[in-house]
A and B are shown apart, each in its own frame.
Chain A
Amino acid sequence: MRLSEIMSSPAITIRSTASAAEAAVQMERARVTHLVVLNGGRQITGVICDHDLRGVEPGRTVAELMSAPAVTLPANADVQEAAKLLRRRDFGSIPVLAGKRLVGIVTTSDLLALLGKGALRVAEMTPKWTLPKRGPTHRPERRRP
């Protein structure tokens, strides 16, 4: 399954110079928990989630609180790849790109939703075939009678 099938689109963005309070307002207005952070040149510099804003002074900037650098994936990447990235790193979302254009965002919650719906059908277990006379190279020694 591809990220384009499960991502939230469009991704909601915020400037890196914005304050924590502005980020919280932006999240509430758009009813999202993750924002993609852009710098002055409209380049993706990080991601910020509602947990990052919990208990911090409202005046702190998004740049101080965000998870950076942002790791992105192309829209045709597989959900397995996204799961591995989210597992290894300390953030809960991945901005999704089509070429260099931001087209969406995938969060841990989106992947859990796949499991929750039972909709995930990846890497079905396939039986391991062995051709006749071409078995495993390391065979146990035959017992002699």
Chain B
Amino acid sequence: MRLRDIMSVAVETIHPDASVEEARELIRRQDVHHLVAVEADTIVGVLSEHAMRMAAGDTAVRALMSAPAVTATPDTTIRQAANLLRGNHVGCLPILDPRQRLVGIVTTSDLLDLIGKGVTREQIDGARHRSWVPGR
């Protein structure tokens, strides 16, 4: 299983100089938990709802976002994604296609979902595994 199989394609972006108030409004309106900070068509960071929980409304997004953003590709495996999230202490990975366009986002919650549902080793490694089916 790869990130293309679990990523959310609806990604909300915000300018790093926008205020926390604007970010909160966007998060509420779009019903998301993470925003990708984009400046001059470049991803410069990510902002989680949790990170601005206690911040004043006039604080700039730049002050609270995790930067630089750690990104992945649609072909990144679940296992690699877990290591990226954990190793960089971030809550989400913006997904970029080979042309460096933002095509999706994967969050820690998506991976927790997999564990909660019961993920198999083959899915974690992204191996092209063919299940054995009785009578085949």
A residues near B, CB below 8 A? 33, 51-52, 54-56, 65, 79-80, 83-84, 86-87, 90, 108-109, 111-116, 118, 120-125, 127, 129
Contact = CB atoms under 8 A, between A and B. Distances in A.
Contact of A112 (B108, B131, B133): B108
A47 to B, nearest CB: 13
A125 B120 CA distance: 7
Interface residues of B, number: 35
Contact of A120 (B63, B64, B121, B132): B121
A24 to B, nearest CB: 14
A55 B108 contact: no
Contacts of A84: 112, 116
Nearest to A64: B54
Interface of B: 48, 50-51, 53-55, 59, 63-64, 78-79, 82-83, 85-86, 89, 108-109, 111-121, 124-125, 131-134
B79 A108 contact: no
Contact of B131 (A56, A108, A125): A125
A56 B54 contact: yes
A87 B107 CA distance: 11
A80 B132 contact: no
A116 B63 contact: no
| Interface of chain B, main secondary structure | helix
A80 B113 contact: no
B115 A108 contact: no
Contacts of A122: 115, 118-119
Nearest to A50: B89
A116 B79 contact: yes
Given A52-B54, A55-B64, A127-B132, A120 B86 contact: no
A121 B117 CA distance: 12
Nearest to A114: B115
A127 B40 CA distance: 51
A65 to B, nearest CB: 6
A127 B54 contact: no
